[in-house]
Amino acid sequence: MRVVVAGGAGFLGSHLCDRLLDDGEEVVCVDNYLTGRKNNIEHLLGRPGFELLEQDVSEQMTVPGTVDAILEFASPASPLDYARYPIETLKAGSHGTLHALDLARSKGARFLLASTSEVYGDPLVHPQEESYWGHVNPIGPRSMYDEAKRFAEALTTAYRNRHGIDTAIIRIFNTYGPRMRTDDGRAIPAFVSQALRGEPVTVAGDGLQTRSVCYVDDLVEGIVRMLRSGLPGPVNLGNPHEMSIIDTARLVVELIGADVPIKFIPRPGDDPMVRRPDITLARRQLDWEPVIDVRDGLLRTIEWFASELGAGPVPGAAAGAAVAPVA
């Protein structure tokens, strides 16, 4: 297939480009580098089957030639990013999705929307299954991302129903791994970067809020299976194993072997208290579930961040140092 990956220079998009090329597909990476980074895909430049187009999908999406599939991953995806770029985030979910759907319609291509667990907001149902409509503040500090993705799902569904486009929707839960930015603002990049620098690890609130973290390779496997399945979704993709934020911070500090305290900071507004996917549909329809243990995934992530930050060998990765005290 010839596959367009919108947002292909981002964290998830770049891993998708790698995987699709390894599977023998041709890949067209589209990005404007608002939050994506060119060095995420520099290793692919010149590789047979890889093309790079610098475009803002909110303004246009023009891809010459045949296209078999379009993966719409073009959006800021962390609270820090979408607070910094609120209008751009809303335009990515609305105009960007519209342009990608129009391209899919004109090319007769399968369209896959990267939606998010954020459509569930601060959920009143736990764990979250796809039939749950969510509990979202439409004017809150996370609304630009939450509502952009909810609109994108509605638009994708309308194009499927009105124009007969072969569409798919996945709802991605918290994902981590190499190529996340050190200034990403999400919990794991913050914890790893702080511990590697010897700084206090900052936990929002009391740290008892939970997340379900999935290593990027597991998520990419689920995305590829969804792409090739013909299913419309929505389908949750994430790790059903739930961890508190404080336990995640302690595990990162332990694996790094850092002698740093954990410091509590104010909790952001509308920060969800719980977040865990029901992946029954993914198991049944895609024969998919995560297989990479969180310790193994974190060690791979820590190794990459250490190289990125020039931190050298990570002593705790092999020795399993004691957990740092809470301050």
Catalytic machinery residues: 145
Residue entry with tokens 């996917």: 277
Q: What is the dihedral of CA 44, 171, 84, 95, to 10 degrees?
A: 80
d(CA 170, CA 152): 11
With 0-12 / 13-18 / 19 or more C-beta atoms within 10 angstroms meaning exposed / middle / buried, residue 310 is: exposed
Q: Please say whether the beta carbons of 236 and 219 come within 8 A.
A: no
Please compute Rg for the chain using Cα positions.
19
**Which stretch of DSSP H or E encloses residue 226?**
helix 216-229
Q: Please say whether the beta carbons of 50 and 76 come within 8 A.
A: no
Q: What is the largest CA-CA distance in the chain?
A: 58
End-to-end CA distance of the chain: 53
